[in-house]
Chain A
Amino acid sequence: MYQHDVLIIGAGLAGLRAAVEAARMGVDAAVITKVHPIRSHSNAAQGGINAPMTDRGDEWEGHALDTIKGSDYLADQDAVELMSREAGDAIIELEHMGVIFSRNEDGQLGTRRFGGQKVARTFYVGAITGSAMLQVLYEQAVKLDVNIYEEWFVSNLIIEDGACHGVMAMNIHTGELHMIRAKAVIMATGGAGRVFEPSTNALICTGEGLGLAYRAGAPLMDMEMIQYHPTTLAGSGILLSEAARGEGAYLLNSDGERFMKTYAPDYLELASRDVVSRSEQTEIDEGRGIDGNIHLDLRHLGRTFIEERLGYLQEVAVEFVGIDLADDPIPIRPGMHYIMGGIKTDVDGATEVPGLYAAGETANVSVHGGNRLGANSLLDTVVFGRRSAVAAAEYAKSAERFSSDESMLQSEQARYQALLDRPADLRASAVRRDMGESMVAGIGVYRDQNSIDAATAKIKELRGVYSRVAVDNKGKVFNTDLMSAIELDYMLDVAQAVCAGADARKESRGAHFRTDMPDRDDENWLKHTLVYKDGDGSRVETNDVTITDWTPIERVY
């Protein structure tokens, strides 16, 4: 029998930071993850982590303002304030744990500039910041002897009397299903990029955390806010970090022109991501693209600089497209990258379901609002990962008992068995691709009522055929085929919630740009969309954005 006071689902930066905090507090905590922690997608974060550091003349208010402006005033300002205030300590803590951040001549941590910010306050490790941080947090988890269920796949939550009491999960190595009881569960499952095709996200980013919480009754907030990153490789959608532009790279159209000067004369290539992606898309749509792409040009930075500061980018460019960044510009385009939306939480990670917490990309606090600034996601994970652990541990102390119901496991087993027993028909991968392409087409850089309706209808149709999805693999050991089929079930929920949010928000704000309603509407839409699961469909509610010191004004870069 497995049981823990606090169970953390996911072992990326948010999950591991939560685990480290829980271990330090001395609670019985465990992490459950479908891949080894080191394989988590946090490792793909490249450019850095933002923090205003008072001792180098940068105050928290500056970072908060940039974040709020970047969010197009959709972020909750109390949450942003908290993140900006805690950022400096979070960086120092990471440095003390062992992260090898780049340094300046004085031996202090050095910074680079990132989009949507005029101040260089992004701390970094080459172009592998996420990977370097993930390794160190895992090291700390090893040091604290955190219990980790490695390669276990969570397929359902234990919900009793409306509260979360643990999970049901398959040990991927044996195919056995188990209940893991917990007084509190922290969802730290990352993003849902694979709901879109293409996407920069890893194949594991299937968003079942969002789907699990949604089905348990937690609302998903601002799901229409999908970030398209300005610099992704055509085809595969592999990411090229904003660090390139942070370090001075240009975006060029087919005339070889730095077109950002017309769209963001002040910030140029370093305007916020939604602005840059839209500018690129406009250039492409108006015939100034290069085979449907834009050129990212680093040549003037020089080979040595590129290899030292942006080594991973050079590796990706050379290995995947055969382009040497020191010699040639590389074709890029906007690509689905991040979901600002997520499980609605308060600043301590609590969701509307008692016992269920969330942190990181899967959560929506909300600090990113309509558009996340580059290098704010890593900050989000460590600040709110830590806070969620504190709150979950406190909650676990007051929770009286573990659940004792066994019947749920049988129904979960039946769900697996039905998939295994179904004769060959539709493959999950085919449905997933159809879903992903429809989502990019419908909920893209630009969208309108027609495109949203088309995506909504397509997702409804695919939900209808899900009952025909079957698996080839009938075995128990490492049955990734079976996992994909279950992941798809949740992905369709996420897709549906995204469409519902996009349909509900009748304005343009941040990443949600509707060509049929191109203006921001603060009078009616300074609001979050909350999508609740409702029978087979959903219902959308709204609530007001928390505004403290920063009155929404026009957003110009």
Chain B
Amino acid sequence: MKYAFYPGCVARGGTPELLVSANAVMDRLGIEREEIVSAACTGAGVLQERNQKLGDALNVRTFALAEQMGVPIMTICSTCQGVMSQANRRVLQDPEYLAEINTVLAEEGLEYKGTTVIKHLLWVLVEEIGIEELQKTFTKELSGLNFAPFYGCYIVRPSDALGFDENPERETSLETLIEATGAVAVDNDGKTKCCGLPILLINQGNALQMVSNHTGEAKDMGADAMVTPCPLCHLNLDGYQPKAAKRRPNGKIDLPILHLPQMLGLAMGMQPKELGLQRHIISAKEVIGKAAASPAAVG
């Protein structure tokens, strides 16, 4: 299967290591893809609060571009996934609305017919590649590691826009992948909560408290690292963790935050540099060491 690749702005901007590691992992898996280079930002929900139709139009434009390519969209960002899924649901539920947007797109010769499928890499791996195929690429069994999942709001809510009814496995897809590497998935309460990034620049105290709660909880539960399919969560959980740590009783947390492809890359035995692991604010050194010392994967 080929995909219309939509990396999202943050995978290029704030967390360039995500794009690097995702490309490395996808290459290893042989996932064929072509980037939708002309696509705009999804609006991340921010644009939508100013003008929902504008946000929807930008996304429908992306869907139309993918439709022309005749393949599903694949993203590596939870927020992009959610915003696109919601926009897609809105236009599919309201053909008149879609027609209005198509009028705007007609100027550049685009029309969205409503057939584009949008899937995060996380779902592509679980639903299409399959755990068995994935595991064939693993050279390490990360059995000594504990990873705390952290989904990001937009890939879990609203559940009816994300197809959880038809694809119930999506609800636990991140744990499924963690366990596929041989690691233990920590059952942290914060895994589906908000990382705080959207209000980081508005109410920093609250945003930092969220970082502190979620990373602190995972750390207390014995996590070696947190794994997220959302680069926006990563920005906050990693970048602001030192500041958030001041809110913990002992003043420190030191929980590395891995992008989903970085964890997979470790299981594939890739080098930290290939995965951009040196670029994190919170050092991933210990996790890298434990992964390297892990037994070889059987399979």
Consider the complex of A and B and state whether they touch directly, i.e. have CB atoms less than 8 Å apart. no
Residues in B lying within 8 Å of A, measured CB to CB: none
